[in-house]
């Protein structure tokens, strides 16, 4: 898809490739481990391996099944990543001489429970951009500052859609019963890609509307978008770069209850202060949908499929955002922290205002 970007600058020229040297991720656990219990918690560094491949190597080494090993999140293969895994304490002695290429156990502790998917707060990233000139570096500085202040759209990254970027096509057929997949894990992966594709299309459309609202007079927008003049005026009065509409489904940030936006001034203030954020639809059953003007737009990216749906933050707030330009090496280094489920490559593409894969 041709994505709409949120920042106003022109595209920035630099070179980026996901490699263990230039793309480093460190997982931030959801809670502090107790230091006692029947589960061994390992803090592990890997490079050039997916999380599934790393889990498989540990399982083969210990003679156990992959499902016996717990983990909180899936980490990129083409990166150096540090993450936590859990293994039953009975295998601790067998790990004393553990020595596999591209995997290193950094530290260990104990906990009462096995790690499960989602048991992480977020991830800390280190990214290196190359072939950066001083003019581009200044634009990156400004873009990072803007993202640190206002946040960014929470698109699904290209990794979500497979090597050829078309997993959502088969996912749609599976979701509508037009194709079959025997492997339940693969089926879920493909259907999720279809839900993610619709989410990205919706979010891109909302960003396009944001841009039009910011760039044109209310009377012009009313004609361009067939939107009520009073709604356009309310959107134009908002300070935040993402313009809320009546009927948007909001959520307390970074987690909490869902509720409907009704142009309440206090909710606008909380949105500006990062206390709440707007959500987008992952279509399916048992999910709250938008109403009003927001619902009119959302229904164009909804589909009646026999899968459970969900809401996903459409706008997120990176923290601890830092950037450094090295003019001698023509390189730009950045650090930032993202909530779980967010893609660092989306932030890079927001800065570049173009695809990077």
Q: Which of 227, 200, 201, 205 is nearest to 216 (CA)?
A: 227
Tell me the CA distances in angstroms from 300 to 167, 197, 210, 280, 304, one per residue in order. Answer: 21, 13, 17, 12, 11
Task: Verify whether residue 267 is a known catalytic residue.
Answer: no
Active-site residue among 22, 68, 76, 246? Answer: 76
Both tokens of 52, joined, read 């599934």
Give 235-300 as a 3 state SS string: HHCCCCCCCCCCCCEEEECCCCCEEECCCCHHHHHHHHCCCEEEEEEECCECCCCCCHHHHHHHHH
Residue in this structure with the two tokens 């922290």, named with its chain if needed: 337
CA distance 324 to 328: 12
67-70: long-range contacts, CB 8 A cutoff, minimum separation 24: 70/39, 70/114, 70/115, 70/116
Beta strand pairing call for 319-326 and 103-111:
unpaired
Residue in this structure with the two tokens 């190597």, named with its chain if needed: 57
CA distance 117 to 96: 26
CB 287 within 8 A of CB 281: yes
CA distance 297 to 301: 8
| Residues carrying an active site annotation | 76
């Amino acid at each position: 898809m041709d994505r709409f970007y949120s920042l106003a600058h022109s595209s920035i020229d630099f070179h980026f490739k996901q490699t263990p040297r230039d793309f480093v991720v460190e997982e931030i656990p959801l809670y502090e481990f107790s230091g006692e219990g029947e589960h061994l918690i390992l803090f592990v560094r890997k490079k050039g391996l997916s999380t599934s491949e790393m889990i498989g190597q540990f399982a083969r080494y210990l003679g156990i099944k992959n499902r016996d090993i717990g983990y909180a999140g899936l980490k990129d293969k083409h990166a150096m990543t540090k993450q936590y895994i859990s293994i039953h304490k009975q295998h601790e002695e067998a790990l004393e001489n553990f020595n596999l290429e591209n995997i290193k156990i950094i530290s260990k502790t104990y906990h009462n429970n096995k790690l499960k998917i989602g048991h992480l707060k977020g991830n800390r990233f280190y990214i290196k951009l190359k072939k950066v000139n001083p003019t581009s570096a200044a634009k990156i500085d400004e873009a990072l500052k803007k993202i640190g202040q206002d946040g960014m759209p929470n698109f699904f990254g290209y990794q979500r859609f497979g090597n050829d970027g078309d997993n959502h096509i088969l996912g749609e057929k599976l979701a509508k019963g037009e194709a079959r997949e025997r492997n339940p894990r693969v089926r879920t992966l493909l259907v999720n890609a279809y839900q993610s594709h619709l989410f990205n299309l919706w979010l891109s459309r909302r960003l396009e509307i944001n841009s039009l609202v910011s760039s044109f007079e209310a009377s012009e927008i009313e004609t361009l978008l067939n939107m009520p003049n009073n709604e356009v005026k309310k959107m134009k009065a908002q300070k935040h770069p993402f313009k809320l509409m009546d009927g948007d489904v909001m959520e307390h940030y970074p987690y909490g209850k869902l509720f409907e936006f009704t142009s309440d001034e206090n909710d606008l203030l909380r949105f500006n202060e990062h206390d709440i954020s707007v959500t987008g639809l992952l279509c399916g059953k048992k999910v709250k949908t938008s109403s009003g003007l927001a619902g009119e737009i959302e229904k164009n990216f909804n589909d009646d499929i026999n899968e459970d749906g969900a809401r996903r933050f459409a706008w997120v707030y990176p923290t601890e955002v830092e950037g450094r330009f090295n003019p001698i090496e023509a390189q730009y280094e950045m650090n930032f922290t993202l909530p779980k489920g967010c893609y660092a490559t989306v932030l890079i593409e927001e800065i570049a205002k173009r695809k990077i894969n």
